[in-house]
Amino acid sequence: MEPIYPFEPVISETIPTESHWRYEIKWDGTRIVTYHDQGATTLFNRKLNERTRHYPELLDVSSYCSASSVILDGEVIALAQDGKPSFHEVMRRDLIQKLDRVEEMQRVVPVTYMVFDILYCNGEWVNRRPLADRLELLHGIVTPNERVQLVPGHEGEQLFEVIRQQDMEGIVCKDLRSAYAIGGKDARWRKVKNYGDIMAVIGGFTLNDGIVNAVLLGQYDQAGKLWYIGHTGTGKLTKAEWRDLTQTLAPMAAPGSPFANRPDRYKDAHWVTPKLTAKVQYSEWRWREGRALRQPSIQAFVNAAPEQCKLPWVE
């Protein structure tokens, strides 16, 4: 079986409410498509990188699926200590370079395969069938076990409120009438993300052709030390605003890093006196574990004192 690019959702600001929509948790893991035919099984991620040897606990397809040949789509997740799916944890498995460590990492970072779709079954492509029919087929051939689960559907607004309360990534809304568009990305599948917002001060930046292309973000602790919390080159700034930012930061140049810890972009960073503050949106921040912001983006620069940018544990 040749691997395919999976169907992707588009970002939506609102939750559709019509009766033909299904609502699922947006699992904070890594997309994995399973290909099984006559006992041979391979796994590929959404970029078509093979992951067969990374997740050996998923290869005995006959232990959870009755089809002799099948293509399943889902998300491999790993849980953090707080019991929530953690992208950081699953990447400890997914990015293993020395595959002789997989057996050890199976014990250290157990994973679960959250299956939510089926494209092929017993010699027949089913991706053009409506999602409602594919789900019925999927539930008829897959028997969940300790490492493989079927993704349940929920009521949209209630699910999103739970996601918000639990500080999880978001939800995916799927049109039950929709076919599975191999290699596609359109509004028949929509992701509604639960973002967080913070105030952060800029302590450094990186350049591309003389223009700022990313800024290094920080917040202060109780003792007044500035801690690096992540970097971003995305957001709502136009090209002209990035050029303006370059001119704004130039006179703030400093001889060394203002951060108490070492930033990820340390080697190619230019340091500034932390004066400029911004509202930053992010998808996840496990600050109790010392993690950087995930998917931060600048929403706007704000007129606030840098000292107001406090770490979450500072009262």
Q: How many domains does the chain have?
A: 2
Identify whether 102 is part of a domain: yes
Identify whether 232 is part of a domain: yes
Residues 208 and 141 in one domain: no
- At residue 264, the pLDDT reads 82
Identify whether 113 is part of a domain: yes
Residues 205 and 138 in one domain: no
β-strand pairing of 8-11 with 185-193: parallel
Residues 118 and 212 in one domain: no
C-alpha pair distances (Å), 133 with each of 97, 139, 153, 155: 39, 10, 14, 19
Question: Is residue 40 classed as helix, strand or coil in its secondary structure?
Answer: strand
Q: What is the CATH number of the domain that holds 60?
A: 3.30.470.30
Domain interval for residue 202: 196-308
Residues 210 and 261 in one domain: yes
- Of 97, 132, 158, which residue is a domain's last? 158
- Of 158, 177, 207, which residue is a domain's last? 158
pLDDT along the chain (315 residues), means of 10: 95 95 95 94 96 97 97 96 87 91 95 98 98 98 97 96 90 98 97 91 96 96 95 86 95 96 89 95 82 89 91 75
Residues 239 and 148 in one domain: no
Q: pTM score, two decimals?
A: 0.77
- At residue 315, the pLDDT reads 52
Identify whether 136 is part of a domain: yes
Residues 152 and 208 in one domain: no
Residues 154 and 202 in one domain: no
Residues 35 and 141 in one domain: yes
Residues 205 and 148 in one domain: no
Residue bearing tokens 């999927």: 138
207-215 own/partner pairs: CB under 8 Å, 24+ apart? 207/246, 207/268, 207/270, 210/246, 211/242, 211/243, 211/246, 212/242, 212/245, 212/246, 212/249, 213/242, 214/265, 215/245, 215/278, 215/298
Identify whether 16 is part of a domain: no
Q: What is the CATH number of the domain that holds 243?
A: 2.40.50.140
Query: What phi, psi does 309 have (nearest 5°)?
Result: -85, 85
- Of 158, 186, 213, which residue is a domain's last? 158
Residues 119 and 233 in one domain: no
| Strands of the chain, DSSP E | 8-11, 21-25, 30-37, 40-45, 69-77, 112-121, 124-125, 148-150, 170-175, 185-193, 196-208, 211-220, 226-232, 270-271, 277-282, 297-302
261-265 own/partner pairs: CB under 8 Å, 24+ apart? 261/227, 261/228, 262/228, 263/203, 263/204, 263/216, 263/228, 263/231, 264/228, 264/230, 264/231, 264/292, 265/204, 265/206, 265/214, 265/216, 265/231
Residue bearing tokens 């699926």: 65
Identify whether 7 is part of a domain: no
Identify whether 208 is part of a domain: yes
Residue bearing tokens 């840098």: 306
Residues 117 and 46 in one domain: yes
Identify whether 2 is part of a domain: no
